[in-house]
Copies of this chain bind each other. A is one copy, B any other.
Amino acid sequence: MSSTSDIDSLIELMARLPGLGPRSARRAVLHLIRKRGQLLTPLAGAMQQVAATARECLNCGNVGTSDICDICDSEKRATGELCIVEDVADLWAMERSQVFRGRYHVLGGTLSALDAVGPEELRIPRLLDRVVTEGITEVILALNATVDGMTTAHYIADQLGERVRITSLAQGVPIGGELDYLDDGTISAAMRARKAL
């Protein structure tokens, strides 16, 4: 590499981001150097800011800039509904859809015998607490439709027992989805859950 060490070490760090490899990290760094004023300097500042302020919500596990996140803190969201998600990215995806007005609980992963992830490694004990203390009436399981996600959903349903209503996201054909491109599992699920028009 002809560039000197500062630039090399920036490339090396950028290449560790998910979605960027060595080649795209080099491209990104050249782009940053070209747009020093508009992008590189503001980005360095924003990163320092987030490094200083970002923290996990003590209640739900969402990422924010205070000990209790905006959602947990908002009186408007105390609807008695609690949506369980695997990680913060899923919570953000739910929020973008603007369909849910209750609160969330971020597990921080799924149960996995292979990776030795048990209930204590996730935020499951805290979830059981919250259901009681926050007067939750419905727990919505919005876990990924993977084997581990479904195992985790069953475990949580077992633990909660009859105390609350437990629901999960519907499975079926995605909006705009073409049957020809869907896997067999999705088609069977959609067929089994068919509705009268």
- In this complex, the interface size class of chain A, counting residues with CB under 8 Å from chain B, is 35 or more
Any B CB within 8 A of the CB of A150: no
| Cα A87 to Cα B27 with chains together (Å) | 11
Which residues of B have CB within 8 Å of A89? 26-27, 30
| Cα A32 to Cα B24 with chains together (Å) | 17
Which residues of B have CB within 8 Å of A3? 62-64, 92
Which residue in B6, B41, B42, B44 is a CB contact (below 8 Å) of A65? B6
Do A46 and B13 touch across chains, with their CB atoms under 8 A apart? yes
- Assess A19 versus B19: contact at CB under 8 Å? Given A47-B43, A51-B40: yes
Please name the residue on chain B nearest to A31 by beta carbon: B18
Which residues of B have CB within 8 Å of A87? 30
